[in-house]
Amino acid sequence: MTVFLLAGGGTAGHVNPLLATADAIRAREPNATVLVLGTAEGLESRLVPARGYELLTIERVPFPRRLNLSALSFPARFFRAVRHAVTLIGSRGVDIVVGFGGYAAAPAYVAARQSGIPLVIHEANALPGIANKWGSRLTSHVAVTFPNTPLPHSNLTGMPLRAEIANLDRGATRAVALRHFGLVATRPVLVVTGGSTGAARINSTVTETARDITAAGWQILHTVGETREFIDPQIAGYHALPYCDRMDLAWAAADFVVARAGAATVSELAGLGIPSVFVPYPVGNGEQELNARDLVAAGGAVLCRDAEFTGAWVRNSLIPMLANDEQRETMAHRASESGIRDGAQRLTDMVFAALSESRA
């Protein structure tokens, strides 16, 4: 019986592909033991046990970004986490480590190397995180979501998607989705989402122009985020949710999407062939714009920078797009051609190939 240790966490961007891969491994080898290594503070502490997997935890040790007291204590804390991971690998008989980035990943990468077992790394974003940049030097088994991700030894697998997304039949599910959200079947649906915490610019611009969009014959399903204040325009055809826990149904209902450009969102919309406008998160290292780059270049999506996503842009650019059936159909086709729906299976193939290579 094979024992897999999947390492990563902190954010949904790390945890969700980890869980999708865990499910694919379990489907491939039902008798396998799949363990997850994370931290007690990250999102994995809630999502991993809820999915039925055992969570092992190590100390949260962020890479220092500037010289301070935390940076001075980093080496000792990091190697303490590595020793803990080595002990877990030995005591649980782990055969292979699969890493997804995040705080728990880097110690697991070193521990795999010290324990002499294979290591597979998956990078979700077009711009790699620190842990995966560093860890990719320790293995030749590196999987990436986007083709131009600058990591050595990289193989394009796409994003491991949740089964309910990867296997979604949008046509067969659409009627159920419309009923679930209280939408009508006679009008096309614009889904707007800024992620679980919302996006202030997207929220304010969409609520400002909701009357114009609905006047153009569309209805709006808008996830505004649980922590964002917004003013509901209180008009027919506009439906606001603080959070959507059934994004599979939201995508089944969608005829067009406005969203941030997180790696999972870009991958899901491409895989499902849904035309979209991406408004990348403007703070940070610019990874969201890079995530959207290939899909935009293929003609499956349009990019609008956060500062430019205004009421005028919606009226002059988005609404004409929504009104142009031929343009939307072309975008949907090109998105579908660019998308990868079986990323979890492709990554699982890499994992089992690494195992076979090590055993040979």
Place 228 in a pLDDT band, splitting at 50, 70 and 90. Answer: low
Cβ atoms of residues 96 and 53 within 8 Å? no
Average pLDDT of 166-182? 98
Number of domains in the chain: 2
Which domain range does residue 309 map to? 164-338
Q: Are residues 67 and 182 in the same domain?
A: no
d(CA 295, CA 30): 35
Place 199 in a pLDDT band, splitting at 50, 70 and 90. Answer: confident
The rounded percent of the chain whose pLDDT value lies above 90 is 81
Q: Is the pLDDT of residue 70 over 70?
A: no
Beta bridge partners of 7: 37, 99
Q: Is the pLDDT of residue 143 over 70?
A: yes
Q: Are residues 52 and 130 in the same domain?
A: yes
Predicted local distance difference test score (pLDDT) of residue 138 = 96
Predicted local distance difference test score (pLDDT) of residue 63 = 64
Q: Is the pLDDT of residue 121 over 80?
A: yes
Place 8 in a pLDDT band, splitting at 50, 70 and 90. Answer: very high
For residue 245, give the CATH number of its domain. 3.40.50.2000
- Degrees to nearest 5, angle at CA 346 with 341 and 352: 155
Alpha helices (H) along the chain:
12-28, 44-50, 69-92, 105-115, 130-135, 163-166, 170-181, 200-215, 247-253, 263-272, 287-297, 311-313, 319-323, 325-338, 343-359
Q: Is the pLDDT of residue 13 over 90?
A: no
Which residue type is seen at 318?
L
Q: Are residues 256 and 316 in the same domain?
A: yes
Q: Are residues 255 and 168 in the same domain?
A: yes
Beta bridge partners of 220: 190, 238
Q: Are residues 295 and 148 in the same domain?
A: no
pTM: 0.93
Q: Are residues 63 and 170 in the same domain?
A: no
Q: Are residues 13 and 45 in the same domain?
A: yes
Q: Is the pLDDT of residue 196 over 80?
A: no
Q: Are residues 289 and 301 in the same domain?
A: yes
Q: What is the pLDDT of residues 147-164, one digit of tens each?
A: 999 999 999 999 999 999
- The burial class, CB within 10 Å (0-12 / 13-18 / 19+), for 6 is buried
User: What's the CA dihedral at 298, 299, 305, 310 to 10 degrees?
Assistant: -170
Sign of torsion over alpha carbons 107, 264, 171, 339: negative
Q: Is the pLDDT of residue 68 over 80?
A: no
Query: Count of residues for the chain?
Result: 360
Selected residue with higher pLDDT from 228 and 311: 311
Q: Are residues 76 and 190 in the same domain?
A: no
Q: Is the pLDDT of residue 267 over 70?
A: yes
Q: Are residues 79 and 170 in the same domain?
A: no
Q: Are residues 100 and 201 in the same domain?
A: no
Q: Are residues 218 and 278 in the same domain?
A: yes
